Homo-oligomer: A and B are copies of this chain.
Amino acid sequence: MSTDATTFESNFSAESYYATQSPPPSLEHDVRNVRDFVRKHVNAGRNVVLVTSGGTTVPLELNVVRFLDNFSAGTRGATSAEYFLKAGYAVIFMHRQFSLQPFSRHYSHSTHPFLDFLEIEKDDNHSSARINVTEKERAPLLEVLTAYKSAHTAGLLHTLNFVTVNDYLWLLRAVSQELAVLGRRALYYLAAAVSDFFLPRQKMSEHKIQSGKGSLHIEMDQVPKILKPLVSEWTQGQAFIVSFKLETDPSLLVPKARQALARYGHQVVIGNDLHTRKHQVIFVSPSPGLDNEYVETWVRIDPSQDLTKEVEEDIVAELVHRHRAWIETSPTS
């Protein structure tokens, strides 16, 4: 069957998306590794959380030079992953390539470069010189390093990469199918900033778009709303699913969160405003037993009281609590 441009004019359903767009080449390999990871933790009776993190790109060219991106350093996801590990979860950390990662996030090359806190202890013989950590940085590094080594030694953290929104969509579906064996013990923490728009492969130009021909016009299609099949098909309504809404206009947060819950039927939307997201978020969830009623709960920290406190600590604590209740409401499938 040949496809022509008009095929792609209308909005994509999840089905038509996967039927017309190509999976990333590493998909099979990635899925196999996730399967091994999940099997190990199912056998150990451990809960597993999928944390998605960072922005997705929308390439404008097949040989990509330019792309649309979503603002996200990946702080929320990387920080939360550490607290999920602390709470005893096995963590699949599915993140945008080069976005922040658990543990190494404390040592950004721009704001806190590790080279600055290493010292060379001189010796007569240069080749035997020692490298030491400065006094000031030793204790915090020891804490991070200990947690990092313990997560890796115990095999509790599995990391996956995506770059484009297409990578993300294929990975999310495949990983959710692997997590289905966990039933209610799977938690989804969908913190990635996923593009609402994309450029179908069939509309992309092969080479770098040339300038010098006037202004640039881009027309993009809507990304299908994959929360719908994720909730009702891929996870069969068993998993505990948390999605995020980021807005810059705070008055839109609650209405848009309620709308998402009504449409997709999942458990929690965490709303955050671009400007206050480091200090507060709002949990919106369906009111138990009441149709079209919602419960809103603020989670806030006070940075003037404790500079080292991170809002993700409280977000994760609240979710671990709710997830436990969710697991207890019905037997694991």
DSSP majority for the A interface?
Answer: mixed
- The reply to whether B131 and A103 form a contact with Cβ atoms under 8 Å apart is no
Cβ-based interface call for A220 (8 A): yes
List residues of chain B with CB within 8 A of the CB of A101: 109-110, 113
Mark the stretch among A20-28, A178-186, A229-237, A241-249 that contacts chain B: A241-249
CA distance A64 to B193 in the complex (A): 13
Q: Taking CB as reference atom, which chain B residue is nearest A137?
A: B131
Contact B61 A73 (CB under 8 A): no
Q: Does A293 contact B (CB under 8 A)?
A: no
Taking CB atoms, residues of chain B closer than 8 Å to A142 are 120, 129, 131
Compute how far the CA of A78 lies from the CA of B220 in the bound complex, rounded to whole angstroms: 34
**A157 to nearest B CB, angstroms?**
12
CB of A308 closer than 8 Å to a CB of B = no
Contacts of A161 in B (CB 8 A): 110
For chain A residues 247-286, which have a beta carbon within 8 Å of chain B?
A: 247-249, 274
Residues of chain B within 8 A of A219, CB atoms compared: 215-218
Could you tell me if A104 and B97 are in contact, using CB atoms closer than 8 angstroms?
no
Q: In the complex, are the beta carbons of B149 and A120 less than 8 A apart?
A: yes
Interface residue A45 (Cβ < 8 Å from any Cβ of B): no
State the number of copies, please: 2
State whether the Cβ of A115 lies closer than 8 Å to any Cβ in chain B: yes
Judge whether B115 and A103 touch: CB under 8 Å: yes
A70-B65, A98-B73, A215-B219 given as contacts; is B115 within 8 A of A131 (CB)? no
A298 interfacial contact with B, CB 8 Å: no
A66 near B68 with CB under 8 A, answer yes
Contacts of A274 on B, CB cut-off 8 Å?
A: 63, 65
* Complex-state Cα separation, A97 to B98, whole angstroms: 13
Contact yes or no, A249 B207, CB < 8 A: yes
Interface residue A214 (Cβ < 8 Å from any Cβ of B): yes
- Interface size (A, Cβ < 8 Å)? 65
Q: In the complex the two chains form, what is the Cα distance from A145 to B116 in whole Å?
A: 9
Check if A296 is an interface residue, CB within 8 A of chain B: no
Q: Are B98 and A118 in contact (CB under 8 A)?
A: no
Q: Does A327 contact B (CB under 8 A)?
A: no
- A 130-156 contacts with B by CB, 8 A: 131, 133, 138-139, 141-142, 144-146, 148-149
Cα of A324 to Cα of B197 in the assembled complex, Å:
50
Is A69 an interface residue when CB atoms closer than 8 A count as contact? yes
Looking at A71, A129, A193, A247, the one whose CB has the most chain B CB atoms below 10 A away is A71
Q: Which of A92-124 contact B (CB under 8 A)?
A: 97-98, 100-101, 103-104, 107-110, 113-115, 118, 120
Given A57-B69, A73-B98, 14 more A-B residue pairs with CB atoms under 8 Å apart are A66-B70, A66-B195, A104-B109, A118-B145, A120-B149, A131-B145, A196-B211, A197-B211, A207-B248, A211-B222, A214-B222, A216-B220, A218-B218, A218-B219
The 9 residue pairs across chains A and B that have the minimum distance between CB atoms: A196-B211, A63-B248, A104-B109, A216-B220, A197-B216, A218-B218, A207-B249, A69-B69, A207-B248
**CB pairs A–B below 8 angstroms (5 shown):** A69-B69, A104-B113, A131-B138, A215-B219, A215-B222
